[in-house]
């Protein structure tokens, strides 16, 4: 049973459970800071090794494996589907063992997946490797990191997650140059062998030994409050979860769908190649600015407010490009609005559940969201690529606009259901 938000406490030392450490305690702040630093480093490494590296190595891999490049890019899609299917069962594991152990085991499990990828000789072993990486990714990528920060930070989880996501915006800027350098030295197979060793010998020990220990399921309510057992409260919580799921899945379908085909989208408006690439590259910097702005806003607004504003901005971005018909001014306006919206929404979908649910139930909600969100991420790029090629940019933008209005409607409904501030 999921209960509405209640103040949570974090017991930082298992040997002294009678002394909760609150957010403003200096030692507590240091533990949270250390956790953010460790998770920022390991998440950048993990996403770079397990997902982003293929953007650099795809051409060489295609020749060695006898696949075309589009087939090579199906590997990450397989990974995201596997992540989606493995996410919901993790909720009970978070509750029993805590996110720290899940993160460590996921890092260990990623190593054989990367090594199998390095040794792949054809389609079967290639896609099997991505399936293993998907199972490992469900345990060690993003969601588990946010669950851990919720376990340790309690009421301060929103700010801790925001800080970690600001750092994560640097992942492509670090992962791609590193992969280019390593591929030149060792080839793509040697690069993935090395990345597997880093996941095993660097990320796993950092997760297990550098992250502070927390009580499993920290912050969970052992006995729900009386009102949480009523049928009305149960229905309310289910509706809130459904609306959050709809909002993040529809938004993720648009943002991930366009992120990989945005250069082709600009080309479809007869934009020169050098401008299309330049415009597309600017999105990452705008998303970073949006995350940083949200983080600096910190306690002034919550994840729901951030998401509502982000959802309202996305249709404006798409309408600018549609009405401007690809004119340079419309592309620049689209980039600014789209980057701000997608960057802010990425923070919102990680922190919005904290508005409605206790920190102890955060892990359960996030694990449920992993299924629809990762399926949306997996389906979006090939879908929009197909629509763009077969039906043209008008249809692609119209579908994206329809989804963005669905996100906005869900966010407005959630805002109307916002619990009273305590």
Mean pLDDT, residues 27-37 taken together? 81
The radius of gyration of the chain from alpha carbons, rounded to an integer in Å, stands at: 21
Confidence check: pLDDT of 62 > 70: yes
Residue 92 makes CB contacts below 8 A (sequence gap 6+) with none
Distance, CA of 391 to CA of 422 (rounded, Å): 51
Mean pLDDT, residues 247-269 taken together? 81
Give the Å distances, CA to CA, from 408 to 141, 308, 319, 321, 411: 27, 7, 14, 19, 5
DSSP for 63-81, written as a single string: HHHT--HHHHTHHHHHHHH
pLDDT at residue number 349: 82
Residue 326 makes CB contacts below 8 A (sequence gap 6+) with 266, 268, 269, 270, 271, 393
Distance, CA of 379 to CA of 81 (rounded, Å): 9
Confidence check: pLDDT of 80 > 60: yes
Confidence check: pLDDT of 26 > 80: no
pLDDT at residue number 294: 63
Which three-class secondary structure state does DSSP give residue 166?
helix
In this predicted model, which residue has the larger pLDDT, 49 or 385?
49
CA 66 to centroid of chain Cα atoms = 32
Mean pLDDT, residues 9-25 taken together? 40
Burial grade of 260 (CB within 10 A; 0-12, 13-18, 19 or more): middle
Residue 283's pLDDT band (boundaries 50, 70, 90)? low
Highest mean pLDDT, choosing among 188-197, 286-295, 315-324, 340-349: 188-197
Burial grade of 292 (CB within 10 A; 0-12, 13-18, 19 or more): middle
Contacts by 173-182, CB closer than 8 A, 24 or more apart: 173/284, 174/44, 174/48, 175/44, 175/47, 175/48, 175/49, 175/52, 175/53, 176/48, 176/52, 176/55, 176/56, 178/48, 179/48, 179/52, 179/53, 179/55, 179/56, 179/57, 180/56
The angle at the Cα of 224, spanning 363 to 306, to the nearest 5 degrees, equals: 45
Confidence check: pLDDT of 11 > 50: no
CA dihedral sign of residues 180, 185, 190, 196: negative
Contact by Cβ (8 Å): 235, 57: no
- List the domain boundaries for the chain: 26-210, 226-416
Confidence check: pLDDT of 6 > 60: no
Mean pLDDT, residues 415-421 taken together? 78
Which three-class secondary structure state does DSSP give residue 358?
coil
pLDDT at residue number 228: 42
Mean pLDDT, residues 212-227 taken together? 54
How many CB atoms lie under 10 A from the CB of residue 121? 10
Helices and strands per DSSP (H, E), number in the chain = 18, 0
In this predicted model, which residue has the larger pLDDT, 344 or 145?
145
How many Å from the N-terminal Cα to the C-terminal Cα in the chain? 21
pLDDT at residue number 327: 84
pLDDT at residue number 82: 93
Q: Judge whether 26-210 and 226-416 match in fold.
A: yes
Distance, CA of 206 to CA of 208 (rounded, Å): 6
Highest mean pLDDT, choosing among 177-186, 234-243, 275-284: 177-186
pLDDT at residue number 230: 47
Mean pLDDT, residues 280-300 taken together? 64
In this predicted model, which residue has the larger pLDDT, 110 or 355?
110
In this predicted model, which residue has the larger pLDDT, 351 or 20?
351
Mean pLDDT, residues 66-71 taken together? 81
How many CB atoms lie under 10 A from the CB of residue 382? 16
Q: Which CATH architecture has domain 226-416?
A: Up-down Bundle (1.20)
Give the Å distances, CA to CA, from 368 to 241, 281, 338, 365, 372: 9, 32, 27, 5, 8
26-210: CATH superfamily: MFS general substrate transporter like domains (1.20.1250.20)
What is the reported pTM?
Answer: 0.76
pLDDT at residue number 16: 38
Q: Where are the alpha helices (DSSP H) in 48-170?
A: 54-65, 69-72, 74-86, 90-97, 99-118, 123-140, 143-153, 157-168
Confidence check: pLDDT of 3 > 70: no
The angle at the Cα of 270, spanning 265 to 272, to the nearest 5 degrees, equals: 95
Residue 332's pLDDT band (boundaries 50, 70, 90)? confident
CA dihedral sign of residues 318, 344, 363, 410: negative
Confidence check: pLDDT of 368 > 50: yes
Distance, CA of 127 to CA of 388 (rounded, Å): 26
Burial grade of 150 (CB within 10 A; 0-12, 13-18, 19 or more): buried
pLDDT at residue number 227: 45
pLDDT at residue number 15: 37
pLDDT 10s digits, 379-416: 887 888 788 888 888 999 999 999 999 999 999 999 89
Chain-wide mean pLDDT for the chain? 81
Residue 4's pLDDT band (boundaries 50, 70, 90)? very low
Confidence check: pLDDT of 271 > 50: yes
Residue 296's pLDDT band (boundaries 50, 70, 90)? low
In this predicted model, which residue has the larger pLDDT, 289 or 17?
289
Residue 330's pLDDT band (boundaries 50, 70, 90)? confident
Give percent of the chain with pLDDT exceeding 70.
Answer: 81
Give the Å distances, CA to CA, from 183 to 201, 202, 273: 20, 20, 26
């Amino acid at each position: 049973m999921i209960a509405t938000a209640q103040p949570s406490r974090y017991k930082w030392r298992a040997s002294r459970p009678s002394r909760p450490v609150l957010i403003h305690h200096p030692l507590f702040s240091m533990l949270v800071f250390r956790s953010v630093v460790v998770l920022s480093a390991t998440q950048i490494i993990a996403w770079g090794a397990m997902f982003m590296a293929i953007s650099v190595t795809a051409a060489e891999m295609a020749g060695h494996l006898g696949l075309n490049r589009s087939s090579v890019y199906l590997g990450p899609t397989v990974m995201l589907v596997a992540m989606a299917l493995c996410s919901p069962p993790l909720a009970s594991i978070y509750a029993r063992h805590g996110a720290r152990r899940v993160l460590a085991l996921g890092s260990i499990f990623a190593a054989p997946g990367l090594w199998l990828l390095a040794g792949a000789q054809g389609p079967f072993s290639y896609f099997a490797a991505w399936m293993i990486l998907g199972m490992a990714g469900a345990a060690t990528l993003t969601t588990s990191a946010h669950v851990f920060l919720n376990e340790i930070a309690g009421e301060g989880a929103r700010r801790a997650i925001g800080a970690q996501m600001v750092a994560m915006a640097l992942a492509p800027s670090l992962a791609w140059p590193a992969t280019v350098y390593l591929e030149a030295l060792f080839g793509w197979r040697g690069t993935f062998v090395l990345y597997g060793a880093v996941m095993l010998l660097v990320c796993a020990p950092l997760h297990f030994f550098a992250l502070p220990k927390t009580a499993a399921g920290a912050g969970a309510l052992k006995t729900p409050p009386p009102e949480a057992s009523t049928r009305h409260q149960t229905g309310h919580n289910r509706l809130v979860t459904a609306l959050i799921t709809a909002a993040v899945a529809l938004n993720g379908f648009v943002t991930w769908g366009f992120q990989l085909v945005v250069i082709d989208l600009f080309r479809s408006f007869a934009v020169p190649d050098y401008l299309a690439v330049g415009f597309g590259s600017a999105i990452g910097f705008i998303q970073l600015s949006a995350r940083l702005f949200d983080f600096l806003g910190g306690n002034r607004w919550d994840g729901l407010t951030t998401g509502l504003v982000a959802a309202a901005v996305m249709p404006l971005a798409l309408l600018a490009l549609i009405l401007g018909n690809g004119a340079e001014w419309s592309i620049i306006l689209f980039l600014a609005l789209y980057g701000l919206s997608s960057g802010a929404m990425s923070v919102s979908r990680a922190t919005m559940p904290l508005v409605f649910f206790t920190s102890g139930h955060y892990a359960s909600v996030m694990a449920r969201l992993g299924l629809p969100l990762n399926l949306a991420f997996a389906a979006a790029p090939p879908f929009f690529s197909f629509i763009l090629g077969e039906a043209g940019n008008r249809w692609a933008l119209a579908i994206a606009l329809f989804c963005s209005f669905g996100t906005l409607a869900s966010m407005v409904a959630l805002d109307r259901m916002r619990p009273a501030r305590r």
